[in-house]
């Protein structure tokens, strides 16, 4: 049984029967049968349906935003933005998939040689709760446009979102079994990966979850793309525009109530600016409003689950015990729900959870660096490598640092880190491997086939 608890109220709102292993096998076989026909359809046919899916998302935007708010606590204004982003990725691949996957001629000693890009079959997506629509559509839009079929194992606390996504594709006219949702818990994932009809796996989630899926997929020799955790550093150099930097840092920190792999986590500030940065940062954090995710003026909703809120609080408490200063927040509020206030920690040093671990919530760790070189060293002093940003008025210097020195898959200059349908997205080190989005993302799950005609 999958039970859904509204994290803002603690009240049970729904429950769903978990599929049995035999039911799962029936679904997978049906999706494979659908693949055999779907792979033969034209790009123009797929694109027409994908654009209908985009319109379907927009038509139900408010309802889907409300669904996210009650299932995982996302502020409703952000939920509407998430749905629009999903519609955008559908349109991007509808417009560009055929061009990206068109055969590429290569001059060799053959009379004709080229590279073709062909679908491979069922892609299993194991997805998290924090962006319950976006995480799915950024896999599904390119996978389906490439001619693959998809099955979704979504997080157990957002089954309503999972079924709504399935309905979007079906209502748009996609054949019934081109995209299906499996209502299962984590225990059944390994068995799904073992199924011979499943050809590839994509996972967005924690590093331990990624390692488990990678291990099982490796055992079965199946391609994987993993987008895992992050401890994104934002480097503030002494020539930074502080107003711009602080605004971007706070925005990034509080997106999705701090529950984002690419939310800013560690703010590494050169010591000549650190006091000014702290004053402006705390003042800006105080302007946020924590409250009911369904309220239009809420900027920080609840955390997705009570256990996640409590784990975050323990990381804060432990950091304080080890010497960090708490300038804002840091206390669990009285009342129902999994709320945690915007929190600012300073004097953060190596050995503290706020330095070494991912803080998945509205908690900012400010770290002082003696100079630019030290700031870059601290930024890279992490097992993660998803996103990073640098702030400086010298754009050429910022670009050089982003290209040559910051160790991350996505590096931004004078802006907060975000995903874009047109650009590849993914990490290095314990933040995973492979890329989603852009031309690189759609090529992860195709057969890059060499054709040589003598």
Q: Residue 190 — very low, low, confident or very high, per pLDDT cuts 50/70/90?
A: very high
Same domain, yes or no: 77 and 182? yes
Q: How far apart are CA 414 and CA 168, in angstroms?
A: 37
Q: Which of 78, 166, 227, 436 is catalytic?
A: 227
Does one domain contain both 436 and 382? no
362/257 Cα distance (integer angstroms)? 6
DSSP-based three-state secondary structure for 367: strand
Tokens of 123: 């892609």
What is the per-residue pLDDT for 372? Answer: 97
Q: Name 224's Cβ contacts closer than 8 Å, sequence gap at least 6.
A: 200, 201, 202, 203, 213, 214, 217, 218, 433, 434
Share of the chain above pLDDT 70, in %: 100
Cα distance between residue 1 and residue 16, in whole Å: 6
Residues 438, 361 share a domain? no
- Give the mean pLDDT of the chain: 97
182 and 321: one domain?
A: no
249 is catalytic: no
Contacts of 439 (CB under 8 A, 6+ apart): 96, 100, 424
Q: Is 0.95 surpassed by the pTM of this model?
A: yes
Question: What is the tens place of the pLDDT at every residue in 350-372?
Answer: 999 999 999 999 999 999 999 99
Q: What is the DSSP letter of 403?
A: I
Contacts of 89-92 spanning 24+ positions with Cβ under 8 A: 89/134, 89/137, 89/138, 89/141, 89/421, 89/437, 90/50, 90/51, 90/53, 90/54, 90/57, 90/137, 90/141, 91/50, 91/51, 91/54, 92/141, 92/421, 92/422
Q: Which tens digits make up the pLDDT trace of 69-96?
A: 999 999 999 999 999 999 999 999 999 9
Closest CA to 285 of 299, 268, 274: 299
Alpha helices by DSSP H, listed for 337-434, are 353-356, 372-380, 395-400
> In this structure, is residue 420 part of a structural domain?
no
DSSP collapsed to 3 states, 414-449: CCCCCCCCCCCECCCHHHEECCECHHHHHCCCEEEE
| Cβ atoms 151, 192 nearer than 8 A | yes
Closest by CA position to 283, among listed 252, 255, 250 = 250
Q: What is the β-pairing status of strands 122-126 and 198-204? A: parallel
Residue 89 lies in a domain: yes
Per-residue pLDDT tens digits for 8-23: 999 999 999 999 999 9
Instruction: Note whether 44 and 126 are same-domain residues.
Output: yes
Instruction: Give, for 287, the enclosing helix (H) or strand (E).
Output: none
Q: Is residue 189 included in any domain, yes or no?
A: yes
Are residues 217 and 287 located together in one domain of the fold?
Answer: no
Could you give the number of structural domains in the chain?
2
Q: Are residues 177 and 237 in the same domain?
A: no
Query: Which of 261, 357, 430, 444 is labelled catalytic?
Result: 261
* 291 alpha-carbon distance from chain centroid: 24
User: Do 193 and 316 reside in the same domain of the chain?
Assistant: no
Cα–Cα distance measured from residue 184 to residue 163, given in angstroms and rounded to the nearest whole number: 12
Segment 204-257, tens digit of pLDDT? 999 999 999 999 999 999 999 999 999 999 999 999 999 999 999 999 999 999
Q: What is the DSSP letter of 240?
A: S
Query: What is the pLDDT, as a whole number, of residue 69?
Result: 98
To which residue do tokens 């039970």 refer?
Answer: 3
39-57 in b/e form (b: 16+ CB < 10 A) is eeeebeebbebbbbbbebb
Shared domain check, 244 and 387:
yes
Asked if residue 250 is part of any domain, the answer here is yes
| pLDDT of residue 183 exceeding 90 | yes
For residues 381 and 449, state if they share a domain. Answer: no
- Write the DSSP string, 39-98: TTS-HHHHHHHHHHHHHHHHHTHHHHHHHHHHHH---HHHHHHHHHHHHHHHHHHHHHHH
What is the maximum alpha-carbon separation in the chain? Answer: 75
CB 60 within 8 A of CB 108: no
User: Are residues 256 and 201 part of one domain?
Assistant: no
If pLDDT is split at 50, 70 and 90, which confidence band does 1 have? Answer: confident
153-156 long-range Cβ contacts below 8 angstroms, 24+ apart: 153/124, 153/125, 153/126, 153/127, 153/182, 153/184, 153/188, 153/189, 153/192, 154/127, 154/129, 154/181, 155/127, 155/128, 155/129, 156/2, 156/185, 156/186
Residues 151, 31: Cα–Cα separation, whole Å:
8
Residue 424 lies in a domain: no
The enclosing domain of 157 has a CATH number of 3.40.605.10
Residues 54-59, mean pLDDT to the nearest whole number: 98
Assess if residue 418 is contained within a domain.
Answer: no
| Catalytic residue list contains 227 | yes
| Domain around 196 | 2-228+429-453
Name residue, tokens 């998939």: 97
- Helices 76-100, 61-72: axis angle to 10 degrees equals 120
End-to-end CA distance of the chain: 59
28 assigned to some structural domain: yes
The verdict on 251 and 116 lying in the same domain is: no
Please list the residues that pair with 433 across neighbouring strands.
226
Tell me the CA distances in angstroms from 41 to 1, 48, 51, 448, one per residue in order.
37, 12, 16, 19
pLDDT at position 108 = 97
CATH number, domain at 336? 3.40.309.10
């Amino acid at each position: 049984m999958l039970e859904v608890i509204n994290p803002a109220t603690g009240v049970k709102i729904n429950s769903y029967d978990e599929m049995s292993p035999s039911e799962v096998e029936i679904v997978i076989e049906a999706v494979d049968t659908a693949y055999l026909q779907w792979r033969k359809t034209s790009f123009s046919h797929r694109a027409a349906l994908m654009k209908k899916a985009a319109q379907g998302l927009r038509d139900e935007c408010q309802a889907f935003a409300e669904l996210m708010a009650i299932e995982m606590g996302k502020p409703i204004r952000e939920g509407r933005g998430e749905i629009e982003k999903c519609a955008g990725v559908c349109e991007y691949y509808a417009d560009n998939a055929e061009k990206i996957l068109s055969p590429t001629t290569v001059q060799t000693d053959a009379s004709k040689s080229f590279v073709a890009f062909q679908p491979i079959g069922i892609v299993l997506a194991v997805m998290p709760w924090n962006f319950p629509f976006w995480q799915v559509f950024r896999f599904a839009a390119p996978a389906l446009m490439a001619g693959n079929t998809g099955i979704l194992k979504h997080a157990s606390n957002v089954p309503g979102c999972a079924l709504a996504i399935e309905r979007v594709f079906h209502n748009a006219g996609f054949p019934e079994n081109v995209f299906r949702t499996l209502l299962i818990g984590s225990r059944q994932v390994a068995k799904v990966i073992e199924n011979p009809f499943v050809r590839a796996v994509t996972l967005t989630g924690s590093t331990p979850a990624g390692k488990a899926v990678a291990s099982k997929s490796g055992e079965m020799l199946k391609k994987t793309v993993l987008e895992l955790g992050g401890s994104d550093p934002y480097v503030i150099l002494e020539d930074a525009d502080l107003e711009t930097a602080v605004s971007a840092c706070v925005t990034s920190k509080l997106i999705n109530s701090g529950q984002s792999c690419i939310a800013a986590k560690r703010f590494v500030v050169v010591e000549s600016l650190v006091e000014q940065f702290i004053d402006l940062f705390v003042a800006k954090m105080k302007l946020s409003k924590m409250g009911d995710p369904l309220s239009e003026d809420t900027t920080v909703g609840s955390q997705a689950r009570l256990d996640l809120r409590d784990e975050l609080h323990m990381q804060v408490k432990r950091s304080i015990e080890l010497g960090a200063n708490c300038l804002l927040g840091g206390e669990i509020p009285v009342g129902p729900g999994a709320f945690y206030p915007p929190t600012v920690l300073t004097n953060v040093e190596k050995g503290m959870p706020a330095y070494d671990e991912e803080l998945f919530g509205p908690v900012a760790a400010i770290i002082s660096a003696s100079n630019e070189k030290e700031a870059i060293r601290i930024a890279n002093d992490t097992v993660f490598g998803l996103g990073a940003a640098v702030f400086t008025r010298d754009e050429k210097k910022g670009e050089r640092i982003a290209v040559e020195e910051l160790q991350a898959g996505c590096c931004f200059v004078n802006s907060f880190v975000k995903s874009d349908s047109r650009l590849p997205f993914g990490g290095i080190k314990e933040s995973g491997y492979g890329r989603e989005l852009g031309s690189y993302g759609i090529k992860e799950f195709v057969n890059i086939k060499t054709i040589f005609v003598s």
